[in-house]
Structure 1
Amino acid sequence: GWTVTLYNHLGFIVDVTQTDASGYYLFEEVYPANYYIGLTLQDEFVPTRPDQGGSDFLDNDLNNSNGFGTTSLFNLDDDEYGKDLGVYECAQIGELVWFDYEENDIKDPFENGINGMKVELYKLGAFGWTLHSYEYTGHKPNTGSDDGYFKFCVAPGRYYLRFVNPPETLVAVRPNRGNEALDSDVTNRFGSGTTDDFTVISGEEKCDIGAGYYPMGSIGDYIWMDDNDNGMRDSGEQGLEGVVVNAYNTIGVHVASTVSDAHGNYMIDYLGKDEYYLEVEPPLGMELSVANAGDDTLDSDIDNSNGPNTSKVYQVNPGDHISNVDIGLVFGALPLEWKDIWGENRDNHNYIEWTVTSEINVSHYNVEVSNEETNFEWMTIGSLPFSETTNIENVYNYADYQSRKGAYVAYRVKQIDLNGRYSYSKIVTINNANNGNVKPVFSIYPNPAVDQIKVNIELPQLVDNLSGHIYDQNGKLIHSNILSKHQVDPGKYTFDVSINALPSGVYTLKLNLDDVKMIEKIVVLK
């Protein structure tokens, strides 16, 4: 029932026939000459790839040489039974781009489509991803007012879509927020405006791909020279041009950047619905002014909440402008320069080490931890004072003996200077091999001993009651409560214990750490 047409070399119809139930067709009593064949394609069917394989009696001869669904010109001077026409039912990909009036990341029934947007289709082939086809969104055929429609009819394969030119001031809605047929699929997997990749087979309808848009959000406003270093924008203090400001989402992905203008104004726009923080890049020889010193319309807001030179997190909704995120800068040397920070698990504790230089005006360092026990909030677990040396670089370290849960534990160091300003190191994540199962460590030195021993204890967690007792070889208690401590924090401790009154012999020191019992032999020599 498929229509097959025979054309002469000038494109005139010579004969028309129909395929039989088995797909065969035949033109009879054809004079020798040059001809080509055309197949009238039914809906959703397209020619398969031509000239595949080594047999002309088995491959497809539709190569679109003389129009869609035609063969190449051939010379007929005898019977020709090798002109085979192969087709397949295409896969359909579509189909909607819409404006999200409700700003809920879902296509609601009353929301309109967006016409005129270019939609590019990329296909994975032997040479990677290449542009396969494109369309512009428009009115959906046979509907009253359905706009924003697009559809591709393609061969089986692996594809992704790219939505290219949304109307000015619009940004993509958050993807994958509900019913697959109603939500947006723009994930930026292959760059701005792209979807995840997907695979289709012959005859499949993949028509649940959507792209929603709503008004952009933005953050600003002013960067100035804080001449008196009071953290407030006073009369006469000038704006600074050319200062770079970056925006990051809460997982640390760089989203956008801008540069302040000649008056010190800046704005980062085209932000989608999400949470963001800012990072400023102070010009050479400058540093941040004091943050949050007063009126929010006049003070500086870069408080290092999310690392050096960063702001707190701001929630940006569609159409919002987060104003008065201002940045004061002053001349002067930075308190210090972070050179390196690293850490590792060392059996019964986590070890963190950092290297700094240019320690000007530094007061101390706080070590902070974030893991599932802190609900991933930063918590201070220790403090180290500034070490005054003649070294160009100073190296500090901290041992965290607390037994912590979770596969990974994150640490950072907060530097605090004498004026109360502070900055943060980078975050270091340690593979928490013990995952909350660290046991106390207990040792004695020297052993054998004469008149005194040192008892070394490493505690992975808080101990309410710590006590020690010495027994002779017969199990008789010789000395009780040689150690007696309460509310002992996690950490490493050394206690001096006198054994001067003990005669030569072998003894046992029994240590009680709440419900944990530990013993160690002592050899006494006189």
Structure 2
Amino acid sequence: MMKITKLPLSISMLSLLAVLSSVQASETITNCTQVIKADGTDIDSTPGNRATGTPVEDDEACIKLLLPFDYGDAPDPLYPSLSTSNGARHQLGTGVFLGSCVDSDPGVMASGGALGGMATKDDISVDTPAYGACIAGDDEDGVTIDVLDVGTAGVSVQVIASAACRLNAWIDWNADGNWTGPAEKVFANAQLNAGINKLSVDVPPFAVVGDSYARFRCSTAGNDGITGEATDGEVEDYKVKISKIVKAPVSLGNYIWLDGNQDGQQSKGEYGLVGATVTLMKADGTVARDLYNLVVPTQTVDATGAYKFTNLPEGDYIVKVTPPAGYVVTAGGVDANTNTSDTDNNCVANSSGAQTLPVTLTEGTEPATDGDDTNSNLTVDCGFYQSKTPLYSIGNQVWVDDGAGVSTNANNGKRDAGEAAVMDGVQIELRDNKGAIVKTATTSNGFYLFSGLAAGDYQVCLTATNFTAKSLLLGYTASTNGNETDANLNIDNNDNGSDTTTSGLCSSLVTLGDDEPTKESPTAIGVAGDDGVGTDDNRSNLTVDFGVVPPKAAPSSVSVGDLVWVDGDADGVRDTDELGLAGATVTLLTATGTPAKDLDGKDVTPQITGADGKYLFTHLPSGDYQITVAQPTGYFLSLGGLDVDEDTNNSDSNCVLDKTGLAKTAIFNLAEGTEPDLAIDGDDNNSNLTADCGFYPQMSIGDLIWEDKNADGVQDSSEPGLTGALVTLTGADGISTVYDVNGKPVSHITTGTDGKYQFTNLTPGTYSINVKPPAGYQLSPGGADPDTNTSNADSNCKAIEGGFQTLSFKIMSLDGKTGISNNSVDCGFYRSVGLGNRLWIDLDGDGKQDPSEPGVPKATITLVDVNGKPVTDIYGKVVQPQITGTNGDYFFGNLREGDYVLQVTPPTGFTLTQGGSDPNDNVLNDSNGITKTDGTVSSLPIKLTWGSEPTNDGDNDPSTNLTIGFGFVAPEGSLQIPTLSQWGLGILSMLLSSLAFWRRRKI
């Protein structure tokens, strides 16, 4: 006798499944059998084989079973892919897969480490078992996705399936490492057929530009989630790239020239008109803005004559040119739209100089013969010539008299080799012989020029403002040695200025005439004696120079701060109860956008704000800076952008968005002793603590439109949501369109079976909810203000003309966490049924109500249920009996749907006419009364259903039944046969009463 131990060689399918239920995916299991006697002794061919515990002969038979699975391969643990993360996995072997094949995956990393960056190449070889025909060891081949540009609708997605299956898919739009964010489930049980399936997705406007990951799962049963097991099919993960649509810029330029022969054509030897300013305007006369919505700055022409405005949106533009004094526009005025010549004059005269006709710029249509591409028009030129009246000029240079490393040359009043020009923008004034200011100019590469002057006496001054706080020459002093006291001596490259900066550094009077020095050098355009604007050399004095000496003492440090805050109401002003914003990265840059350095030459490290939102950069040299702020995800920049220099308000927002979407301040200056004092920002005047930026979180509003069965204005647990209600979010005025945080109009919502609605991505502010319920619904009592009553069980709507609407209410968050959602804005509606008609005297006894038959007055009619019990209306009030009037009419309204019975007590002596018709047959003129065994009169049960009642009964209302009439025979002698005129009056009276009855029903 023998028995089998361990697992049998032959096992049933049921027992196999029982064993496999505890097996991990893609795990190999081993089942073994061993044969021994029933008493436990060995029956091997070698006796005592088991005696030592180490058999010398293996009497076991084993089989190995492999359960093949396909796993996802997005980077784990960021995304759940491995078996330890309950990763998405599909059992193989059914022939359902995506693309050309699917092979098995181990579900673990061979090295035991994390799965990193493996999407689209989970294997380097085809693992067995495999299904289909795998190519190059990669089974991620079933999905092809077109370019994912932010905000683009209908992006093509092509999915190849081996057999019919249901597709569920996700794309991580916000790149936060999961697929649970808004709109990230892009397909839900989409039915695929065998072969190529063409689908599409919409890329949301909030999608984050850069690399992200997508997961596609298809199985026969469908309903697959981000994780977990499916009994067939395949999971494919992809690394995708989200990009931003770049709009091609257009540009315009080219040449402002001195037209010496006045022929309107550019000729050899004619040069650029130095000092002319060129301004770009829109065709309607408003300022032009570039693709970043920045004002296009004015350009000043140098000796090349060239100008160019770039990064422009398509549109119509006008080029305005202001020439130096004494110059007028030459012949021409040719339309640049119709004439693409690059040598003619396109300007006509205007009040300030000249301007072109409107020039249209369109991508891909601009001239291809002007030296650039078809997105740029470089044919817009303007020529000028000098008027015949003799004109004069005076100029030349301002330099730093520091000796250029040779101490004996410092402050010697002469411009020595290596000494640099002052910075651009130093202010120069030209005064007449009485000290009145004639013109102003600023240095460019150290040079200045006043042209278009009449002969006479003039004085040139470096203004005192150059040396004051926050000015370019703060700390500089006058060159005091070797001064030339008489500038008319025409000695070049020496200092002609006075020595007191508080009054400005001024030359002596210079007399301009026809005998000015010639061949002076250097000049702004590099040609000896040429002032660059066409003035005759003998009428131009280019020898009036100024030397300045730089400060010696090292400047004290300056600092800047102060706050990044949660702007709860998004108004750009920090209120006392608004809190700091934690997690914002604040960076200090120079005016050119490079990382700032402190006084020790070290890079200034960016700071991340704590709970108080504060930041502070210290130990800085004086200079021009800008601050950038990268806010935490989910926050948006408030109104603001005021200049830090010009606005010292310590509670406003100074940031604007740049072209990349980064918040930053305008460029501001920090200078020792000039910053806001203690009374403004709480510290000394070497620190500016007014550079603040506000951000707000996105908000949401909901929640329920419900059917108020008992019309009490309170949500009961048994009352359902109302399907088909149209819910619209408006501004506080109840009319204006609302825009979300991305600037898009907020669409209305039609409620589903749960009655829920939700408006998301909203800015803080004041709103109102407008509701249009389905036809036949009436507003429940309520109308509580959502601001003052935050109950989530009441009705907030009030009736307005054309619909129903809440009072305006405010939504905001002071800390960015609480108050970001208001889900208590609800509105209830109800519907009711009714019945009625009249009691009449059946004069001819035929059981039919004729137009001439009068009503039965003073009859009592009572509404009860089918058991004869009193009933209540939708408000819960007991329905009271009614006593008929002269015409015998009655009506019971505001009833619930259900079955009812009418009981009638007529006046004494009145008996019921023939009839007893079914009251549910909707016949208008029959008698529905029956006489019960106890002698009372009632109707048969009447079923009232909203929307199913007759509309041919006089009120065209499917919620009322006005066909339930009762005919009676009057006692003998109680009626007088009417005359013909009485018959007429009776008919007229009945018609009028019917009209009044119908009007009462409508009211």
Q: Give the TM-score band, short-chain normalised.
A: 0.3 to 0.5
TM-score normalised by the chain length of structure 2: 0.19
TM-score normalised by the chain length of structure 1: 0.33
Structure 1 or 2: more strand by fraction: 1
Structure 1 or 2: more helix by fraction: 2
Greater relative CO (CA pairs within 8 A, separation 6+): 1
